[in-house]
Amino acid sequence: MIRRSIVWLVLTVLVATSSGQNQKGAPVSKQKPQTSFTEKLLKFLGIADSPGTLKGPGDEVISGELWLADLQVKSTRALASDAGYRSPIFWMGSKDILVLRGTEVVRVPSTGEGRKSLYSVQGILKLVGASSEDPTTVLILLRDPTGGRPRVGLLTVSTGAVSPVPYDPASSQDLLMIENLAGWSRTYSNQHVFMQKQHKQALSGIVEWHDVFLQVDGNPPVDVSQCDGVDCVQPSLSPDGHWLVFVRAKAE
């Protein structure tokens, strides 16, 4: 009986020791946390803000003339004499602008000369922004064939190829991100760009329109579009913060 008890004690100690070695010495495999849809897009755009400050509610999609504001000398000028443009963005690493005209993606130099239609992308709704790490890729929104919320894709600028970026339609955070991407208010570091409704009294009554405003470091916002009775919408700031492109509705 004593011998059997000793054997049992030795086995218990061995098992306990072995278990302790496994707990202390064996490497524990940790699963890498998955990056959320929102985190992926914020990283893509190079923005550290929360989705709520990335963009705010936008207006309905309209097209118009393409205009450029020089924020250093506080002047604006038309980049093209024709209309039909929408959703302009600056192409990272250059002063060129990518803009939609119908379903066509058009490249427009900041001089306004030498515009070039690159290709057509079926169902494209909006150019959101170029990648902060890879300027050859642009985040876009696409129309859902079933009439649901917009789809998200990555557009390879050189080829026109589109890669889908899936999100969870049951996730409130993902859906909030989609709504923010569809809007036009943007925060770039210490600069906040947004649209604000304006109004004035005319002989025919009250005239309302949108102007584009820029707020820097919490200072009072400045009207940078100065459109005076004509809708100016869909603003996008250049990477260096010196230029702002926007769409000006065709005056009636």
Is 3 among the domain residues? no
Is 178 among the domain residues? yes
Is 17 among the domain residues? no
Residue 15: is its pLDDT beyond 60? no
pLDDT tens digits, 168-202:
989 999 999 998 888 888 888 788 999 999 988 88
Averaged pLDDT for residues 130-159: 91
Is 153 among the domain residues? yes
Domain that holds residue 170: 34-247
Is 252 among the domain residues? no
What's the pTM value of the predicted model, to 2 decimals? 0.78
Tell me the CA distances in angstroms from 239 to 45, 90, 112, one per residue in order: 11, 7, 18
Give residue 34's pLDDT.
59
Residues 184-189: contacts with CB under 8 Å, at least 24 apart: 184/55, 184/56, 184/58, 184/59, 184/233, 184/234, 184/235, 185/55, 185/56, 185/57, 185/58, 186/54, 186/55, 186/235, 186/236, 186/237, 187/47, 187/49, 187/53, 187/54, 188/47, 188/237, 188/241, 189/241
Tell me how many domains the chain contains. 1
CATH number of residue 162's parent domain = 2.120.10
Looking from the CA of 252 toward its CB, the CA atoms found within 13 Å total 4
Is 93 among the domain residues? yes
d(CA 89, CA 98): 5
Q: In percent, how much of the chain has pLDDT > 90?
A: 50
pLDDT band, residue 251 (cuts 50/70/90)? low
Is 157 among the domain residues? yes
Is 6 among the domain residues? no
Averaged pLDDT for residues 86-107: 91
